C-alpha cells in the first residue's frame, strides 16, 4: 500500500495492519467482519455516516480518501475499533460511536481537515503541506 504515495499530498509511507493472525496463538481471534479498511469504509461507514458534504462551510469528504495518509490512519483505527467493539453486545456500538466514530469523523469531515480542497464531484485535489518541523538539538532525545 505504500507504493506510489509520492504523488499524493501526504507523501508518507503508509502500511496497513495485518488482517491475518500473526501466529498460531492468535488463531482463536474472531474473524473480521470486513476484510480490510476499504470494505469497511464503503460497506459500513459511508452507508451509516450520511452527511450533506461540501455545502457552504459544511463537511468535506474526498471520494479518494485513500490518497490521504491521515485519513487512512484514522479510518483504519475506526475499522479496528469497530471490529473489536462489535463483539460487545451491551455498549460496544455506543462506545464506538461516542469514542471513535464521532471523534475521528469530526476531524476528517471538518472544512479544515485532511480533505480540504477535495470535492465529491471533482475528487482528490488537496495539496496540503506537512507541518513544518525543525531538527531537535543533538542529544535531546
Distance (Å, whole) CA 73 – CA 14: 8
Distance (Å, whole) CA 2 – CA 17: 12
What pLDDT sits at residue 111?
86
Please name the residue that has the C-alpha cell 503541506: 129
Distance (Å, whole) CA 80 – CA 40: 10
For the chain, which residues make up each domain, given as ranges?
A: 1-15+36-130
Render pLDDT for 40-52 as a digit per residue (tens, 0 to 9). Answer: 999 999 999 888 7
Higher pLDDT, 106 or 59: 106
Distance (Å, whole) CA 74 – CA 37: 10
Higher pLDDT, 86 or 25: 86
Higher pLDDT, 33 or 122: 33
Distance (Å, whole) CA 63 – CA 68: 11
Check pLDDT > 90 for residue 20: no
Amino acid at each position: 500500500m505504500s507504493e506510489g504515495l509520492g504523488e499524493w499530498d501526504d507523501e508518507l509511507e503508509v502500511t496497513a495492519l495485518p488482517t491475518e493472525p500473526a501466529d498460531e496463538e492468535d488463531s482463536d481471534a474472531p474473524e473480521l467482519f470486513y476484510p480490510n479498511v476499504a470494505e469497511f469504509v464503503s460497506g459500513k461507514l459511508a452507508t451509516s455516516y450520511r452527511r450533506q458534504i461540501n455545502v457552504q462551510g459544511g463537511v468535506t469528504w474526498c471520494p479518494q480518501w485513500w490518497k490521504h495518509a491521515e485519513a487512512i490512519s484514522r479510518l483504519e483505527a475506526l475499522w479496528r475499533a469497530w471490529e473489536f467493539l462489535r463483539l460487545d453486545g451491551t455498549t460496544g456500538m455506543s462506545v464506538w460511536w461516542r469514542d471513535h466514530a464521532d471523534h475521528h469523523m469530526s476531524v476528517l469531515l471538518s472544512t479544515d481537515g485532511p480533505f480540504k480542497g477535495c470535492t465529491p464531484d471533482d475528487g482528490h485535489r488537496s495539496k496540503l503541506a506537512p507541518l513544518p518541523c525543525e531538527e531537535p538539538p543533538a542529544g535531546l532525545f
